[in-house]
Chain A
């Protein structure tokens, strides 16, 4: 019921911000990262991001970090090893440059997305060619 109400008001909420754009990017990103998953379990230390991602149908927000398929991280903290990390700003991406597969953040009013080739390789992630332009060897 809550989801229904949220979905009803979602277009109005999204219209007022960059959320709509961001949600579309996450939807594309997650479905390409986990093409065979029926439900993708996401953990985030950012409540807003968790809330936003909960609108996506194939996403399940989990509280147990160990149970998550991907960690969407905003702040520095100790994270379990071998988990797929995705940063929400440039500084965190820099911090987790050895673990994070990439990040999505807003810079100068523009959406910025980038992936680190080496970390994608470590996690055996093969992104579609349409993502090639966003894959970097260095930060």
Chain B
């Protein structure tokens, strides 16, 4: 829209400049034309003067004054000839001589009115007339001071080398007026054109303004004056997402506010928070009402500052938190939660990036609201190490550097390897890079989907080779993600005969609201004979409700409970209760982090079905040798 305004302004200015240029050119043309016409009149006067001289020389070979003084008929004849040439343009044409006192007197006069008599004195500008008389050169004289006269052309009549008389031709002051009048239609035409163009421009501007306002109304939310979903739809098809970071903002407990104070107050809050947000973002940022009390902000990245959107989000959060909103007699304090997608360009699509920001918002709400959660925040929790850049991860996938390590899980009774857990690694320049150093970066990106596909294929290859059960770790959200779910189904279809060897471990740190859709998908996976395990059960987001909603085959008791089990009675009691419950439900148990003989003995004593840990076997690239199994 701003771009369109700039274009219109440019066109408008160009037209004004063009009109101004044409006007100046026209003025110059008028001046040139006027000069040319003047020259034509002067040329004509010179021609007249030549003809008069010829006539005088023809009739009076010498001593003009004396000859004319004696010959009245010749005087009249000469005056008549001069009168023929007298017109509105050439107002006065006369013949003078200079007397002994240096005064100029009439010899003949072509005028009908105001006629000068023979020998009558005429006051002229003697200085100039004398110069012409003495130099015997014709002169053009401007007559600005004389009423009714414009210029005078004076031409001496020289006989036998002596100036005998001088011809005066006075141009009427109406000549330049006539020229000006002749030019007037041209100037008027230009003014009419200019006025017409100007009116058209005004109409165009008005139309543009109406168009702009209509378009603005169509894409603006009337309550908050933020952009609406219409604009978002248009934006999503045009936006270069690499230039923006995304913030998803939600007003905390807004439904409660609406229910308590009424919709009018709710609307006021929406409007005031929107105004506040608009003041805190910059002109180049885009502010969209996503729906209800949810807003989307596209923060323009000026440089590679990954924390910009988070900083702005924190500023908004703080400002809202510190503000008390007063309506009528009410004082209301409000908070907002925000999720930030710091690197939307790493997502498969803009919709995925928005979805990610929404997920971050979800985390912010889960963590108690009035929070800003960003990808960067999650990544800061990743241990420092050989953290890979997203491009390096992509490169590793392309160069087939993604491999699986396998850690054996032993049966407590038989002491034999019952299954393996596949653990993803990137093998780069003889370095083995652990998942914590690359997985968070690609979470929710298309690269993550590619990686899932590779791991499933690798694991199925191993199962085919060794006919052994292997578990792979997936997130709850992976199952909900249609793209990843399709990959899982595709791989299960391709390896139908070996699907029953596969165990999917769902990582519990992922937030879960086991929806109907999730249950349906898990059941579809299980229909291939796949077993489902819950990882890290017993801490964090552990919820016994999971047993009611998901058909679980195995639970892996969280490592933090197992590793201290030899010292902590509490841990031992919690593990015991989990084992009792799972046995009742027919669910197999796995103890992780078995790192010592003592821990192994206690877990055996607690009758945990299978054991896993460095004490028993470390993860390695190949499966254990058959004799060690």
Chain A residues close to B by CB (< 8 Å): 17-18, 90, 106-114, 136, 139
- B interface, by DSSP: helix, strand, loop or mixed? loop
| B124 cross-chain contacts in A, Cβ below 8 A | 110
From A108, A112, A114, B94 is in contact (CB under 8 Å) with: A108
Q: 10 A-B Cβ contacts within 8 A?
A: A107-B116, A107-B120, A108-B111, A108-B122, A109-B92, A109-B146, A109-B148, A109-B170, A110-B146, A112-B123
A18 to B121, CA, bound (A): 20
A134 nearest in chain B by CB position: B123
Given the complex, which residues of A lie within 8 Å of B121, measured CB to CB? 112, 114, 136
Contacts of A113 in B (CB 8 A): 123
Residues of A within 8 A of B149 (CB): 109
What's the least CB distance linking B173 to chain A, in Å? 9
In Å, the complex CA distance between A109 and B147 comes to 6
Nearest 6 A-B pairs (CB), nearest first? A109-B146, A109-B149, A112-B123, A109-B148, A108-B92, A110-B123
Q: Which residues of A contact B117 (CB under 8 A)?
A: 90
Q: Interface 1/0s, chain B 118-145, versus A by CB < 8 A?
A: 0111111000000000000000000100
B residues less than 8 Å from A114 (CB atoms): 121
Is there a chain A Cβ closer than 8 Å to B114's Cβ?
A: yes
Bound CA span A90–B93, Å: 19
Between A18, A106, A108, A111, the greatest number of chain B beta carbons within 10 A of the residue's beta carbon is seen for A108
In the complex, chain A residues whose CB is within 8 Å of the CB of B146: 109-110
Given contact pairs A108-B114, A109-B146, A111-B123, enumerate 19 new A-B contacts (beta carbons under 8 Å). A17-B147, A90-B120, A107-B114, A107-B116, A107-B120, A107-B122, A108-B111, A108-B168, A108-B170, A109-B91, A109-B92, A110-B122, A110-B124, A110-B146, A112-B121, A113-B123, A136-B103, A136-B121, A139-B120
Give per-residue flags for B89-106: 1 if the beta carbon is below 8 A from chain A beta carbons, else 0: 001101000000001000
Contacts of A18 in B (CB 8 A): 147
Cα distance A114–B119 when bound, in Å? 14
Kindly supply a per-residue 1/0 record for chain B positions 278-305, scoring 1 wherever the CB is within 8 Å of any chain A CB and 0 otherwise: 0000000000000000000000000000
Bound form: Cα–Cα A112–B146 in Å:
12
Chain B residues with CB under 8 Å of chain A are 91-92, 94, 103, 111, 114, 116-117, 119-124, 143, 146-149, 168, 170
State in angstroms the CA–CA spacing of A113 and B123 once bound together.
Answer: 8
> Within the assembled complex, what's the spacing in Å between the Cα atoms of A17 and B148?
10
- Residues from chain A with a CB closer than 8 A to the CB of B143 are 109
CA A63 to CA B149, docked complex, whole Å: 37
* Bound Cα distance A111, B116 (Å): 13
Chain B nearest Cβ from A138, distance in angstroms: 9
- Given the complex, which residues of B lie within 8 Å of A111, measured CB to CB? 123
Please indicate the chain A residues that have their CB under 8 angstroms from the CB of B116 in the complex: 107-108
Which residue on A lies nearest to B120, using beta carbons? A90
B497 to chain A, nearest CB (A): 118
Bound-state CA distance A139–B118 (Å) is 10
Residue of B nearest to A91 (CB): B117
B-side contacts of A139, CB under 8 Å: 119-120
Chain A positions within 8 Å of B170 at CB level: 108-109
- Shortest beta-carbon distance from B421 to chain A in Å: 112
CA distance A109 to B92 in the complex (A): 9
Please, how many angstroms separate the alpha-carbon atoms of A136 and B123 in the complex? 13
A63 to B534, CA, bound (A): 136
A114 vs B123: C-alpha distance in the bound complex, in angstroms? 10
Query: Which A residues touch B103, using CB under 8 A?
Result: 136
Which residues of the other chain, B, contact A112 by a CB distance below 8 angstroms?
121-123
Q: How far is the CB of A92 from chain B (nearest CB, A)?
A: 13
Report B176 CB to chain A, min CB distance, Å.
15
What separation, in Å, do the CA atoms of A90 and B149 have in the docked complex? 21
Residues of the B chain whose Cβ atoms lie less than 8 Å from the Cβ of A136: 103, 121
Most buried by A among B103, B143, B147: B147
Complex-state Cα separation, A30 to B91, whole angstroms:
33
Question: A94: nearest residue on chain B (CB-CB)?
Answer: B117
**B120 cross-chain contacts in A, Cβ below 8 A:** 90, 107, 139
Provide the bound-state CA to CA distance between A136 and B147, in Å: 26
Contacting residues, chain B, for A110 (C-beta < 8 A): 122-124, 146
A110 CA / B143 CA spacing, docked (Å): 10
**A93 CA to B119 CA, complexed, in Å:** 14
- Cβ distance B363 to chain A, nearest Cβ, rounded Å: 89
Report whether B123 and A107 are in contact in the complex, using a CB–CB cutoff of 8 Å.
Answer: yes
A136–B100 alpha-carbon span in the complex (Å): 12
Find chain A residues with CB under 8 A from B147 CB.
17-18, 109
**How long is the Cα–Cα vector from A112 to B168 in the complex, in angstroms?**
17
Complex Cα distance, B124 from A85, in Å, reads: 25
Per the bound structure, the CA–CA distance linking A108 and B117 in Å amounts to: 12
Most chain-B Cβ atoms within 10 A of its Cβ — which of A106, A109, A114?
Answer: A109
CB proximity of B511 to chain A, nearest CB, Å: 95
Q: How far is the CA of A133 from the CA of B123 in the complex (A)?
A: 11
Q: With a CB–CB cut-off of 8 A, which chain B residues contact A109? A: 91-92, 143, 146-149, 170
Alpha-carbon separation in the docked complex, A139 to B99 (Å): 12
Instruction: Report the Cα distance A112→B96, complex, angstroms.
Output: 15
Complex CA distance for A107 and B123, rounded to whole angstroms:
8
In the bound assembly, the distance between CA atoms of A127 and B52 in angstroms comes to 40
Q: Which residue of B lies closest to A90 (CB)?
A: B120
| Cβ contacts under 8 Å, B91 to chain A | 109
Residues of chain A with a CB closer than 8 A to B119's CB = 139
Q: Shortest beta-carbon distance, B172 to chain A, in Å?
A: 9
Please give me the residue from chain A that is nearest to B111 by CB atom. Answer: A108
Considering the complex, give the chain B residue whose CB is closest to the CB of A21. Answer: B147
A73 CB to closest chain B CB, in angstroms?
18
Please name the residue on chain A nearest to B91 by beta carbon: A109
Residues of B within 8 A of A107 (CB): 114, 116, 120, 122-123
Residue ID in chain B nearest A18 by CB atoms = B147
| Nearest chain A residue, comparing its CB with the CB of B121 | A114
How many angstroms between the C-alpha atoms of A90 and B148 in the bound complex? Answer: 20
Nearest CB in chain A: distance from B104 CB, A: 10
State in angstroms the CA–CA spacing of A139 and B121 once bound together.
8
Q: How far is the CB of A26 from chain B (nearest CB, A)?
A: 16
> How long is the Cα–Cα vector from A107 to B170 in the complex, in angstroms?
12
A86 CB, min distance to chain B CBs, angstroms: 17
Q: Shortest distance in angstroms between B462's beta carbon and chain A's nearest beta carbon? A: 114
Residues of B within 8 A of A17 (CB): 147
